[in-house]
A and B are shown apart, each in its own frame.
Chain A
Amino acid sequence: MNPLRHDFIQSCLLSFLPQPPTPAEPLRYLDVGCGGGIFAESAARLPTTRSVTAIDPSPTILEVARAHAKRDPSLAGGKLEYVSETIESLALPARPEDRFDVVSVFEVVEHVDYPAAFLDRVGEFVRPGGWLVLSTIARTWTSWVTTNLVAEDLLGVVPKGTHDWYKYLNEDELRGYFAGKGGVATAEG
């Protein structure tokens, strides 16, 4: 799934840029809720990336992420930085142009109690002209069967209570939210 995230980001960037980003003008990423760093590592490896700031509130999982990043020497040297913060506690760069080219929020919104307030805060970290890219689980029968019934109850691959189906958001709800902010949303199902 992770490669598809990059394809989606590329398609977003290309929809407003005449050409794909080049290593001459590398991008700055903020990955919110980075977990073990699957996306953060891959973003940091791209030659078109200047830096990746990856935040997660859990110091335990950041230890796992840092240990994994040590296995790839190309990630050392400051290009990838893990910070134990929440989006609420993270300091907002004062100047708008110092904010991020791409802010990614992958599989996070569905765990948040107040998604609108959360997304309001996340949006502040996007530089003018930048991209907020997110993915989440829609509230459908399929997601109930796969993420709740199978993953938690039957197979137990994730701890019970990880997912609350009632917190899941549907595409039209997110579209409605962004439309209310005057934003332009693009989606891929």
Chain B
Amino acid sequence: MDAVIRGRAAYVCRSCTQRFQRQLRRSYASAAAKPDIYDVVCVGGGPAGLSLLTALRANPVTSHLRIALVEAQDLAKVKSWKLPPDRFSNRCSSLTPSSALFLDQIGAWRHLERDRVQAYQEMQVWDGVTGARIEFDWAPGSAPAAGTTIAYMNENLNLTSGLLKRLEELGGVAMFDNARVERITYGEETEEMDLREWPVVHLSGGKQLSARLLVGADGANSPVRSFAGINARGWDYNRHGVVATVEMEGEGWGGDHTKIAYQRFLPTGPVAMLPLPGNYSTLVWSTTPRNASLLKSLSAKDFTAMVNAAFRLSPTDLEYMHTQESGQAEEYSWRMEHTPVDYRAVPQTVMGVQEGTVASFPLKLRHADTYIGERVALVGDAAHTIHPLAGQGLNQGQGDVQSLAKTIEYAVNHGQDIGVTMSLEPYVAERYAANHLLLGVCDKLHKLYSVGSGPLVPLRSVGLSAVNALGPLKSFFMNQAAGNGIKVF
């Protein structure tokens, strides 16, 4: 383990550690326990956890910290992840320019397979019941100086693989992959030190890591959050997100240089078609669990027809087609003969779906009561789970990580113990309200558009159409979407 202690004046310096170990060997010769002390132990090697460790390693102020990563998966496999250019993973996320900038600052962006990342410059959002529409395109002169990119679509594995390559380049992180967290306890008091407030992570195989700061980047069911006794509140939407990688008839109506994201609000939930490189797109269709299981059971031909129908046919037509066990392809061509469609206002026709990419996951809203405890910090999905309708989940996690890394940097620079609540407070102060607002906005949008009829329906359409007509307001919304603010649609 000594190999991973680097730097001149390590926070837990090599000589101290060795001294402790010598002392412990002397005084507790028979006792097996000599604490393996880390400044940061991160549980979870997803985008949030890996970005945090990369940010800490890339910053000269925090690069001397002794860091460990605990991950259940085989990270070597993630790092060497490779797909042919015409195959795409079904788990994609939208990265805002501010997330991309952060990834660039920590030196990770250049490690992504850039030809698999697709920027998009326009959004088309409409109400599936009334047809009211908002077009997010840049009016002449309204585009920000940074460029016209609203966001980048990227495979999650491309991001995690790139982060791992960057971490390998930086070195100095003790990687415990293929490792399960069996339990988390507190340390003990000895003659030399009092670790009764220090979390100790027990790994399968018996390894124990003592953490000055334990970071929970361990997802929605975070064991670290449970250990810290922090509750996460919220509700299930009774909806599933159906994802798939689909092949379109072309590279999009705007060609290669103006890629467009589409989202239609249906009473069962929004369906989104997000551009990938070339003729490919990724689908995220939020719908009822019953509809989701039907969609997953369909043949490729019928599934393709249903996706095309979702952007073109009326909610009533769609409802009927969800009652058919099969034969949606024929039903779709028959119904399309009687449905006028402005074909350039909807995504190009889906020609096929990549085998094995249709999957679904339940949608829920969760927000932890706080993100910090004594020697504990939560980031990403461990802190909050959001409805995917605005594509903000991963970006919220990146925002958390950027803030936590900055908080740790400040603490180190001012001689604070980075694990104590007082040092961590700026992180929760900066992120909690911002995340809460975004969670709330997306939740309300989901609920507003889940209504199929009644007085809300014309009102919400007035909202969308009015926004579309008001140029400056729309630019404001778009800058919010592309920037650090709230993505309102």
Contacts and interface: CB of A to CB of B under 8 A. Distances in A.
Interface of A: 2-3, 6-7, 23-24, 26, 41-47, 49, 67, 70-74, 76-77
Interface stretch (B12-20, B146-154, B341-349, B462-470): B12-20
7 contacts: A47-B8, A70-B189, A70-B194, A71-B194, A71-B197, A76-B16, A77-B19
B414 A6 contact: yes
Given A44-B415, A47-B64, A77-B16, A23 B193 contact: no
A42 B415 contact: yes
Contact of B414 (A3, A47, A77): A3
Contact of B9 (A3, A7, A23): A23
Nearest to A45: B415
A185 B137 CA distance: 59
Interface residues of B, number: 26
B195 interface: yes
A23 B20 contact: no
A76 B415 contact: no
Contacts of B414: 2-3, 6-7, 42
Given A3-B410, A47-B64, A74 B415 contact: no
Nearest to B193: A73
B427 to A, nearest CB: 15
Given A2-B414, A42-B416, A45-B417, A67 B194 contact: yes
B194 A76 contact: no
Interface of B: 8-9, 11-13, 15-16, 19-20, 37, 64, 189, 192-198, 212, 410, 413-417
Nearest to A40: B415
Contacts of B64: 47
A76 B193 contact: yes
Given A3-B414, A6-B415, A74 B11 contact: yes
A94 B195 CA distance: 39
Contacts of B20: 73, 76
Given A7-B414, A71-B196, 9 more contacts: A3-B414, A23-B9, A47-B64, A71-B198, A73-B20, A73-B193, A74-B12, A76-B16, A76-B193
Contacts of A3: 410, 414, 416
Nearest to B414: A3
A49 B414 CA distance: 12
A51 to B, nearest CB: 13
Nearest to B422: A2
Nearest to A6: B414
Given A23-B9, A43-B415, A77 B15 contact: yes
B50 to A, nearest CB: 25
B16 A73 contact: yes
B416 A45 contact: yes
Closest 4 CB pairs of A and B: A42-B415, A47-B9, A3-B414, A45-B415
Contacts of A2: 414, 416
B229 to A, nearest CB: 20
Nearest to B417: A72
A6 B410 CA distance: 11
Contact of A73 (B12, B196, B415): B12
